[in-house]
Structure formats: structure tokens, C-alpha cells
Amino acid sequence: MKYKLLFVLFIFNAGCATYQHKVQQARSLIEDHQFPQSVALLEPLAKTPSDDQLIYLLDYAVATQLAGDLKESTQSFLKADKLVESVDYHSVSRIGSSLALSEEMVQYKGDSFEKMFINAYLAMNFLSENNYDAAMVEARRINEKYQKNRLDEKKSFEQNFFSIFIGSNLGISKKV
Amino acid sequence: MKKIILLLSAFSFLLSSCGPKAFVKGEYEDTQAENLKNDQWSETDMQKVVHDLVGKMVEHPSISKSKNPPIVMVTQLQNKTSEHIDTQSVMDMVRVELMNTGKVGFVDKEAREDIKSEYEYQGSGVVSEETLKGPGGQTGADFILNGRLDSIVQEVGKSKSVYYKITLNLTNLKTGVMAWSNHKEIRKGFKKQSIGL
């Protein structure tokens, strides 16, 4: 009986190595404007396939943008955008495991507003590189996601108005 | 009952442990076979639109009734879609397919700097008189070929439709009149699985 209890405790402890815990130091470094150091901590998490790879990729892409490595930031956001599509389903086996073992067994799929942030950040990266055509591609992606959220009757807080603002301004500036 | 729950948990855990694996066993595939593996612009789309539009273009009197093969300069295909598409690759395919018909010739805008630099090199005295090439001997283009790629994406629930329209324009350089213009449309429908293993 003792061993069974220990086994259960072990499994629950394993589940406690959560996302928040793993990125805490990298976040503190960003707050201290130590971007390259933060990038170094986030890189192995973002580049290792895992159930939470999406969220690590987003953190890494933002950190690399802040560190001024726009090329790496863009590649990471593009990878995240593809990952969002590929994990957009409910895995019966993972949900089953999460009920029995750990919440982390379920793949992180990203919230609606996070998915729109990807394109807004990409648009900003492309604009910084004077690649206006590529930035406009991202503006159209933002619009598509906005329309889908609208048709899916997502709540207004799930719409990312910052991204919509970025996308709209790109469209307006093209017409001026 | 407890046993069933434990068994189910163990089975779920085993299944969920099957994480992403690297692609290790490959085989060559027919490049002309349809590729609808995802909802993105694919080489099949490119092949379909280019083949169709090139066929229509060479049938136009500006090309088919011309005494000599007209000289065409291929310029930009604007990307107005919501995907990062290599439009240079599309226009390369248009140029190759047109050239394979033998009905048109081409000047290469991209090669101009290299040509200029080679003229300078050859004119520096290092090349024999018989093989020397210099400015003034080039053939001017008769037409400019450009275009635009548009898309409309509609996604509701688990259904998605992607529509592409590629428009090509052939403009007479002497008159500035558009001699030919046509488009090709493609629409693809997709269903997304909401539940999987």
C-alpha cells in the first residue's frame, strides 16, 4: 500500500514541473533586459518536441525579437503558426492520460488571441526588415483568423484587438 | 471497476507516449501526382495554373500569328494571398513552359547586372577581337509578362475552403497596350478532424 502511495506521489510530482516553473528564470531575465541570456534558456525548450512546445516557441520567438535576432524570431513564429494547425484536435489518448496522470499530458493548443498574436508579431518582424509584402500576408492571416473567430462566435475577449489594429493599419497604409 | 480504470489509464499513457518521430523511410514520388496533403499552396496548384495559362497564352494571335517568336520579359507576380508563396518560382515555371513551346523568346532582367559587368570585363582587352561582345547588340523585349495571385479563405467550424486566382497579363512594350490577359481559378475544400488518437 505504501509503495502504491509513493508511486502516485511520484507521478503527481512529475506533473508539477510545469510551464510556469520552466520559464520563470527566462522571464525574470527579460524583465531585466537581459535578452540573450533569456534566449539561451528558452532555446532548448522551444526546439525540443514536447506537448508544450507551442508555448515555449512563442516565448522564444518573442525573446529573440527583443534580442534583435529577427530572422530567428520570424522562423520560430512561422513554426509556431504551423504547430497551431497540427495540434488543433482533441487527442483521446492524451485526454485519458491527463485525467489519470498529469495535466501536462494534453498538448498545448494555444488560445484564440495567442494565435492572432503570432501573425501580429510576424508582421512587425517583416516591417522591421522592410518586407512590406510579407507583412501584408500576415495582415491577411489576422483578418482570416478574426473572421473565423467571429463565425465560431468566440467571445469578444478572445479576439485580439491589438493584432486587428496592426493588420488594419497595414491595410490602410497600403492604400495611402 | 478499479482494474478497468487502471487498464484504460495505462493504455492511454502508452498511446500518448507515441510522440513525434523523425521521417526515416522515404521513397521517390511522381512529381506530377496530386498533392493535397495540407491546405497550403502546393506544387500541384502551381503545375495546374501554369500549364493552363501557358496553353491559353500561346494560342493568342499575338504569339501564334507572329512571324518571328516575340521576345518576352518576365517580371513580377504579386502575392496577394495570406500565405508566404514563392511567386518567383511560379514565374520561373511559366517561363520554362513557354520556352518549351518554342513560340517565344526571353530576355532575362535578372541577368542585366552580370551582362553589364561581363561587357566591362571583355572590353578591358583580355578577350580576343573575334569573340568580343559589347553593348549595342542586345535584342529588345516585345512584351512584358506580369501578374497577380489572389486567394480567398473561408473557414467555419471544421470546414475550410481555399480559393486561388492567378491572373497573367501580357503587355506590348511598344504600344503599352495589354495584348492578352487571362486567369485560372482553383478551389480546394478541406475537413479537419476534431478527435484523434
- Tens digit of pLDDT for each residue in B65-118? 999 999 999 999 999 999 999 999 999 999 999 999 999 999 999 999 999 999
The pLDDT of residue A26 is above 50:
yes
Nearest residue, CB atoms, B79 vs list A88, A99, A137: A137
In chain A, count H helices and then E strands. Answer: 9, 1
Q: What integer is the mean pLDDT of A85-111? A: 67
Name the residue of chain B whose CA is nearest to A146's CA: B155
Hey, are the CB atoms on B81 and A140 less than 8 Å from each other? yes
Domain span holding position B50: 40-147+166-183
Q: Do B16 and A78 touch (CB under 8 A)?
A: no
Q: How many domains does chain B have?
A: 1
Q: Among A48, A54, A75, A93, which would you mutate to test the B interface (most chain B Cβ atoms within 10 Å of its Cβ)?
A: A93
Tell me, yes or no, whether B29 lies in a domain.
no
Q: Give pLDDT, residue B195.
A: 64
What per-residue confidence (pLDDT) applies to B156?
83
Sheet of B159-172, strands arranged across: B105-107, B71-80, B143-156, B159-172, B178-191
In a domain, B79, yes or no: yes
Q: Is the pLDDT of residue B4 over 60?
A: yes
Partner residue opposite A89 with nearest CB, options B13, B38, B195: B195
The answer to whether the Cα torsion of A104, A109, A115, A118 is positive or negative is positive
In a domain, B126, yes or no: yes
- For B35-43, what is the mean pLDDT? 90
- On whether residue B67 sits in a domain, the answer given is yes
B24 lies in a domain? no
Q: What is the mean pLDDT of residues B37-58?
A: 95
Domain edges within chain A: 1-69+89-108, 111-176
A72–chain B nearest CA distance, Å: 17
* Residues of B with Cβ-Cβ distance to A133 under 8 angstroms: 78-79
Q: Tell me the mean pLDDT in the region A76-85.
A: 92
Residue A59, helix vs strand vs coil:
helix
Tell me the whole-structure pTM to 2 decimals: 0.79
Q: Is the pLDDT of residue A11 over 70?
A: no
Q: How far is A160 from chain B (nearest CA, A)?
A: 18
Closest chain B C-alpha to A143 CA, distance in angstroms: 9
Mean pLDDT of B118-147: 94
Chain A: residue nearest B6 by CA? Answer: A100
Residue B131 placed within a domain: yes
Beta carbons of A91 and B13 less than 8 Å apart:
no
pLDDT tens digits, A53-62? 999 999 999 9
How much is the pLDDT for A176?
A: 45
What is the helix (H) or strand (E) element at residue B119, kind and residue range? Answer: helix B112-121
Record the cell numbers describing residue A3, joined without a space.
Answer: 509503495
Q: Is residue B138 part of a domain?
A: yes
pLDDT band at B192 (very low <50, low <70, confident <90, very high): confident
pLDDT at B75: 95
